[in-house]
Amino acid sequence: MRLFSKKNKVTFRHGIVIKEYPDEAALFREALALEYLGAAGLAVPALLGKEGNALKMEYIPGVPYADLVEELSFEQARALAAWLEEYHSITSTLRGDCNLRNFLWYEGRCVGVDFEDEPMFGEPEIDMGRILAYAVTYHPPLTEAKETSARFLLRAFANSNHLLDLEKVRYAYLAEIAAMNSRRKQYAVHPHSAALFFDRFSQEKIQN
């Protein structure tokens, strides 16, 4: 069975994920990340071995957060925020690739996958803003349900990081949407609409 990936060939065979890399450096980055994060106790797939240009990894039969954004619960939002906070604490780097297909809801917790990109440094609000940008722009974008999901995510981020700077989150959110528009050669969401949408879902007082 072939699994979704834009960069690599990913298949599921005999209960194991086989991920083949055209870029050897990406293979080694992901292998090191999985070993390090797993040893630190973060919820990531177990690395089961290396074979040529491929890694063998544990299969996590979870639901991608990308598929939850029309019905995200606060429990699911809190699990993602907790995972992200732990990741930042362990690595002192950004998650970077915040596509919500890289976060799985499985057995009551969030599991992170896909760590082949080079580490990036910056403030935690950058990752938070990027996650929110993805959450509200999956088709159909800017729905009422996505507004509720984004509000849950923002509240969960605030609960896990009491020094949260909302303006930095908003800046990162808008920057990621601009990057999406550039990649897709068309507006994923018009920047002005995205800004108004952020202001609406963030205006509710964030509290436990």
H-type alpha helices, 40-143? 74-91, 124-137
pLDDT tens per residue, range 151-173? 999 999 999 877 899 999 999 99
pLDDT tens per residue, range 32-62? 999 999 999 999 999 999 988 999 999 999 9
- Token output for 75: 């429990």
Nearest to 108 by CA among 62, 145, 153: 62
pLDDT of residue 208: 44
Q: What are the DSSP E strand ranges found in the chain?
A: 2-3, 9-13, 16-20, 47-51, 54-58, 63-64, 103-106, 109-112
CA distances from 125 to 54, 79, 108, 205 (A): 33, 17, 24, 18
- Token output for 69: 């954004």
Q: Are 138 and 129 in contact (CB under 8 A)?
A: no
3-state SS, residue 184: helix
Residue 185 DSSP code: T
The fraction of the chain above a pLDDT of 70, given in percent, is: 93
Nearest to 165 by CA among 127, 137, 135: 127
The fraction of the chain above a pLDDT of 90, given in percent, is: 79
CA distance 183 to 185: 6
CA distance 36 to 34: 6
- Per-residue pLDDT, averaged over 67-81, amounts to 97
